[in-house]
Amino acid sequence: MDWQKEDLKYIWHPCSQMKDYETLPPIVIEKGEGINLYDINGKCYKDVISSWWCNLLGHCNPRINEALKKQVDTLEHVIFANFSHKPVITLCQELMKVLPEGLCKFNFADNGSSAIEMSLKMSFQYHYQTGNPQKKRFMALTDAYHGETLGALAVGGVDLYSELYKPLLLDVIRIDGPDCFRCPYGKCRDNCDCGCFEKAEEAFKKHADETAAIIVEPLLQGSAGMKVYPPLYLKKLRELCDKYNVHLIADEIATGYGRTGKMFAFDHAGVSPDIMCLSKGLTGGYMPTAVAITTQKIYDAFYDDYLKGKAFMHSHTYAGNPLACSCAVEVLKILKDENIIEKANKRAVYFNQIIKEKFLPLKNVGEVRSIGLINAIELVKNKETKEPLDSTKRTGYQIYKKALEKGVILRPLGDVIYFNPPLIIEEEDMDFVTDIALECVNSVLT
């Protein structure tokens, strides 16, 4: 059977212009192991983007496999209203051991965008039920990405995803976020005092009374091109939110579970959000699930007699799915038992070092930025002025295609080449994928 032909006959792939598939047909994957994926012809691809950042511990991890197999013979699913099960309770117990202080109530969904939607509605309803019905709006940073349902798109700030739908979206208060590569203050992210935070202070002074919450991707704006900013920004934001009674929502869907070198990105700042959204690495990339975790204070605002109408009326059919929760419990066990994050941090030093050595000398590399095992290489037209490349030439896409030929999955964000591998990647694979990436960048840009 021609599997590629059959795929194109039926399937509309996400985030794709399907016309591109005329020259780059879908790669049909047969199996996976570690950071490797193998297509139906046996060709190996190094998955250094963790299959959209969710594969945490490698493909077909034996321990997660076993946990899933064991659970499927016991209970596959149960309605989550007035019913529960051991895996979801155990998951909450284990998460409580690693979450930032104060987060203690768990509301489950089935994907990251849904967790964002829940957090926005939760914050709005909290303020409505605690005497602040005027707090109806939300704040978010420029270049933010929070998902692709309408509420999530509204707080997002990447026009590629949201521009067309703006007539349908909430009126969000947009704050100029940190841009450390092209800092208008002439500072460096490693030692600045976050002068750019004045933009947030201005927005709060003007709009805080009508604002329910501000939502951020902590320390790392992913879809914006892996833009990294200092922990001090989060500390200042926590103080500002406390001053003005505005909730701080942490979108840790992409940054949680060791991706930034700590369990959660907020751990770098030593402060806690009011609501934290998790997905992606939560189950190690095995099963779609998500959770919005909040405080006792927020939870208490919904707790009353039924006829008072204060309940949070938001539900998902697959909320708290036992199969997903069993995977999620095993992921936490593996992280602890095998010291995954600590080991990854040691290898991250080597990864960043070789990427800087190989790529910084290139005339079209403006910056190499890193946090944890994540490394991003921003390609520019002019190294001195930091002028971007001509986006119509789709340079990143051309590099992506060449890397695929050589067995490496890069999938750049525009003209930002990045590595966001499973936490178990070894130095040998780091050498291989960076050599291939360098070869492809040179091939396209010279």
Q: In 3-state terms, what secondary structure has residue 209? A: helix
- pLDDT at 190 exceeding the cut of 90: no
Token duo for residue 382:
């002019």
What's the CA gap between 288 and 282, in Å, rounded?
9
List Cα–Cα distances, 194 to 185, 203, 247, 290, 398, in angstroms: 9, 16, 21, 32, 36
- Classify the C-alpha dihedral 185-188-189-192 as positive or negative: negative
Cβ atoms of 181 and 227 within 8 Å: the answer is yes
| pLDDT value of position 50 | 98
Distance CA 73, CA 116 (A): 32
> How many whole angstroms separate alpha carbon 124 and alpha carbon 122?
6
pTM: 0.97
Query: What sign does the dihedral 320-326-328-332 (CA atoms) show?
Result: positive
Inter-residue contact 130 to 323 (CB < 8 Å) = no
Q: How confident is the model at residue 334 (pLDDT cuts 50, 70, 90)?
A: very high
Q: Is 63 exposed, middle or buried (0-12, 13-18, 19+ CB in 10 A)?
A: middle
Q: Average pLDDT in the 129-152 region?
A: 97
Tens of pLDDT, residue by residue over 228-266, are 999 999 999 999 999 999 999 999 999 999 999 999 999
| Average pLDDT for the chain | 97
Which superfamily is assigned to 3-61+340-445 in CATH? Aspartate Aminotransferase, domain 1 (3.90.1150.10)
pLDDT digits (tens, 9 = 90+) for 6-16: 999 999 999 99
Mean pLDDT (whole number) for 160-175: 94
Determine which of 32-36, 191-195, 351-355 has the lowest per-residue pLDDT on average: 191-195
pLDDT in tens, 256-314: 999 999 999 999 999 999 999 999 999 999 999 999 999 999 999 999 999 999 999 99
In this predicted structure, what is the pLDDT of residue 315?
A: 93
Residue 191 has pLDDT above 90, yes or no: no
386 — pLDDT class (breaks 50, 70, 90): very high
pLDDT band at residue 318 under the 50/70/90 scheme: very high
| Contacts of residue 86, Cβ cutoff 8 Å, sequence gap at least 6 | none
Average pLDDT over residues 351-361: 98
Mean pLDDT for 352-365 is 98
The residue extents of the domains of the chain are 3-61+340-445, 66-337
Distance between CA 444 and CA 399 in Å, rounded?
6
Q: Give the model confidence (pLDDT) of 57-66 as tens digits.
A: 999 999 999 9
Confidence (pLDDT) at 160: 87
Long-range contacts (CB closer than 8 Å, 24 or more residues apart) made by 346-353: 347/373, 347/425, 347/426, 347/427, 347/430, 348/261, 348/372, 348/373, 350/427, 350/430, 351/375, 351/419, 351/425, 351/427, 351/430, 351/434
pLDDT for residue 446 = 83
φ and ψ at residue 362, rounded to 5 degrees: -70, 140
Beta bridge partners of 247: 213
**What whole-number percentage of the chain has pLDDT above 70?**
100
The CATH classification number of 66-337 equals 3.40.640.10
Looking up tokens 């960048």 gives 441
